Amino acid sequence: MKILLLSLLGAVLSLASFESQAQRIKDIADVAGIRANQLIGYGLVVGLPGTGEKTRYTEQTFKTMLKNFGINLPENFRPKIKNVAVVAVSSEMPAFAKPGQSLDVTVSSLGEAKSLRGGTLLQTFLKGVDGRVYAIAQGSLVVSGFSAGGLDGSKVIQNTPTVGRIPNGALVERAVATPFSRGDYLTFNLHRADFTTARNLARSINDLLGPGIAKPLDATSVQVTAPRDVSQRVSFLATLENLEVEQATQAAKVIVNSRTGTIVVGQNVKLLPAAVTHGGLTVTIAESINVSQPNPLAGGDTVVTPQTEIGVTEENLRMFLFNPGTTLDELVRAVNLVGAAPSDVLAILEALKVAGALHGELIII
């Protein structure tokens, strides 16, 4: 039965029609268990032109490396290693990465190194969260930043000279097991949790394959019955991920960035009946000094008298009225009409929210 359904997927999919708002499943959801894995390691960068460091843990790491090559240094010996730096090496291993494939790595200084430009990373084990080695990194660094300094202490730094990258600098040594080929189900997890979108996703799959094939578990996950055979499951998923689903509109929100003054108003934000008055009061204070100098034969003293001038300018108050169901476009045009600055707009929005006239969630970040 499943093989028959699989053979009919392509033909039925071409007949399905959706609105222009519909998006592919691969654009709005991920398959549970198919994910990248972060890797990290600790290593040495050598060959630096005197921009390395000389710290206790750098010396210890350097001695340990030499010991692995059969070279034993005295315990109290402190090597001069200004061309060496200890670094953290990080990478991200994509899903289904196989042994022998390469990964890009990022190398970051951990100590007092001034620059990693010109350095070479020695063989470094990259481990996962379980402590097992999944890749090995090594190679010459590509550093975009640089620094230069003079004898008087002046310094010029561009970008970050203590961070570099090695394209294809790590080789995968062990694959990460995934649940893709196990069980009777595949689960789609939405990027943005929404009950309406989850229902629409399950409904679209059931309209294509038949009732009961897909069922929403919650606002994020939709479970789909899938073939057990791996090759059939790949074709099954390849077809489903291109199926289009109508995504629900977002809840009414107003996002305000108080640091940059950026204000984003969502599509469904509306206002209840309200009247807003916007005005400004400008106070100018000018300080000046008056000096009273007596005549040479008068016998008086010189007197210094401060003089303050205060000017007050009040702008004409302007009021605009929001009728019931005012839309986003009307709100923006009304606020622009009074010439409000971002800080003024924030004050207006907060006042409208407190008054209960703002139909939407006000989020300040």
Q: In the 8-state DSSP scheme, what is residue 205? A: H
pLDDT at position 129: 92
pLDDT (0 to 100) of residue 92: 95
Query: Which run of H or of E encompasses 334?
Result: helix 328-337
Taking only the tens of pLDDT, the chain with its 365 residues reads 333 333 433 433 343 333 446 889 999 999 988 889 999 999 999 988 888 887 777 888 888 888 877 877 777 777 777 888 899 999 999 999 999 999 999 999 988 888 888 899 999 999 999 999 999 999 999 988 655 554 445 555 566 888 999 999 999 999 988 888 888 899 999 998 889 999 999 999 999 888 989 999 999 999 999 998 888 999 999 999 898 898 877 777 888 777 777 777 777 777 777 666 655 544 444 556 676 777 666 666 777 666 655 454 545 555 555 566 566 566 666 666 656 666 677 777 777 777 777 777 788 87
What predicted TM-score, i.e. pTM, was given to this entire model? 0.66
| Contact yes or no for 133/126 (Cβ under 8 A) | yes
Nearest Cα residue to 78 out of 99, 97, 62, 91? 62
Distance CA 138, CA 158 (A): 26
Buried/exposed 73-83: b ≥16 CB within 10 Å, e otherwise: eeeeeeeebeb
- One DSSP character per residue, 82-142 reads TTEEEEEEEEEE-TT--TT-EEEEEEEE-SS-S--TT-EEEEEEEE-TTS-EEEEEEEE-B
The helix/strand/coil state of 67 is helix
pLDDT of amino acid 9: 37
Position 136 scores a pLDDT of: 96
Q: Which of 138, 128, 134, 175 is nearest to 45 (CA)?
A: 138
Give the separation between CA 115 and CA 318, rounded to whole angstroms. Answer: 58
Count the Cβ atoms, other than its own, within 10 Å of residue 84: 24
